[in-house]
Amino acid sequence: MPRYPWTDGPEYITQCPIQPGSKFTQKIILSTEEGTLWWHAHSDWTRATVHGAIIIYPKNGTKYPFHKPDREVPIILGEWWKNDVNAVRDEGLATGGDPDPSDALLINGQPGDLYPCSKSDTFKLTVDHGKTYLLRIINAALQEALFFSIAKHKMTVVGTDGSYTKPLTRDFITIFPGQTYDVLLEANQRPDHYYMAAITYSVAPKYQDFYDNTTTTAIVQYNGYYTPSSPPSFPLLPAYNDTNASVQVMAGLRSLVDAEHPCNVPLSTSTNLIYTVSVNSYPCVNNSCAGANGTRFSSSINNISFDTPTVDILQAYYYNISGVYGDKFPSDLPLVFDFTADYLPLIYQLPSSGTEVRVLEYNSTVEIVFQGTNVLAATHHPMHLHGYSFYVVGWGFGNFDGNKDPLRYNLVDPPFQNTISVPSNGWVAIRFEASNPGMFQALMSSIKNKK
């Protein structure tokens, strides 16, 4: 939100938590966004249920940059636990281990036909043959990256995170936590019932039960007189751990780039940052915690795990309250090693901790390279930046090569997003102009670290 940093971020960054029983009004200021965004709570795991869509239509006198759909439908993907979600979070914090995975995935609040308790309430999208539908897909899941598909129908991505893209047609999409996709669905198949479905993408071993391995479904049903197939056709989805499939959409996304939708990617940068993103662990007395080898799970950026202050950082900055945060967050890697090696020394698993900020000069052009590591577990890391959208100028597997990889950057039509996933054992490079003053945070998965 340009020039309005006061409520754009997690608790203790731009504001203290909203107290139970109190009232709060959010002011939202849009700039160039058009398409689908979403709002969600930022305290504990409350956003598992406190969230919703924000839809920004073309301004008066302009049109969609694609054929106007006959209907628009929000599709919100989420998670559901049998227990209170914050109790699940608290137990994970208390034991130091992975919180229990969700018991079901959701499409518009319902697990779908594969769950006997919810079959009668399965979400149904009724369509007319020959018409086009704009699906505004939001991944509101706390942790799970999701493969999403519709049986016997292709989908055409035309936007992501409030920005239009060149049309990209796929049989399925991978949508990471926090992302939105605007997708065109053409109802061009034989009138029948067809499942839309979502499953988790995870690199965790299936037998270790570290993720929700269920399948959520909804039904696309054509109007007309016919006898529907029973059961409906089911979509082909990648294997749950198919990393190559997980990057297919990311690899193909391109900004629209026309007179109404220019691409203002910085061609050169004044501030270059490189950050490792890692899963880490702290030792526990007598190896008594539930993390790997009796440790407590943590996470870090540049080997610093975030300590939550008791005064929000923006307030501390505005009122010059000392001792709340430091300004020594490193711009470069504190440790250089083969980040994606199969076996790494145990000493790399222990992060430092602190409440450190990286200060940027106003109007500076910034590049951040997020480098994934195999420190404790090689996994993908959804990264979300508050206060800005950014251009995703490059990505790849393995270790980032500062000499070779920038030569392959896309500086012509890179996608403009606010959430991107660092591939498992890979890297992502983003660029933006620091023209929105404030105290903002980059979020990694469900663990908070700030820039």
Are both 282 and 417 inside the same structural domain? yes
Are both 200 and 113 inside the same structural domain? yes
Are both 280 and 405 inside the same structural domain? yes
Are both 290 and 228 inside the same structural domain? no
* 396 is a domain residue: yes
Domain stops at, among 217, 252, 287: 252
Segment 389-427, tens digit of pLDDT:
999 999 999 999 999 999 999 999 999 999 999 999 999
> 125, 133 in Cβ contact below 8 A?
yes
**pLDDT of 451:** 30
Domain stops at, among 218, 252, 286: 252
* 148 is a domain residue: yes
* Intervals of the chain under pLDDT 50: 446-451
Are both 416 and 299 inside the same structural domain? yes
> 204, 210 in Cβ contact below 8 A?
yes
**pLDDT of 447:** 37
**pLDDT of 206:** 66
* 118 is a domain residue: yes
* 14 is a domain residue: no
Are both 297 and 417 inside the same structural domain? yes
* 47 is a domain residue: no
Are both 136 and 180 inside the same structural domain? yes
Are both 102 and 243 inside the same structural domain? yes
Are both 336 and 423 inside the same structural domain? yes
Are both 326 and 220 inside the same structural domain? no
**pLDDT of 194:** 98
Q: What angle do CA 100, 198, 46 make, to 5 degrees?
A: 45
Are both 280 and 140 inside the same structural domain? no
Query: Could you list the residue range(s) of the whole structural domain that residue 422 is in?
Result: 271-448
* 26 is a domain residue: no
* 36 is a domain residue: no
Q: What is the CATH number of the domain that holds 374?
A: 2.60.40.420
**pLDDT of 118:** 86
- Distance separating alpha carbons of residues 384 and 123, to the nearest angstrom: 29
* 42 is a domain residue: no
Segment 126-144, tens digit of pLDDT:
999 999 999 999 999 998 9
Give the chain's domain count: 2
End-to-end alpha carbon distance in the chain? 17
Per DSSP, 146 falls in state: E
> 199, 217 in Cβ contact below 8 A?
no
SS3 267: coil
Cα distances (Å, whole numbers) of residue 436 to 3, 4, 153 = 6, 8, 41
Domain stops at, among 252, 282, 300: 252
**pLDDT of 319:** 94
Are both 444 and 309 inside the same structural domain? yes
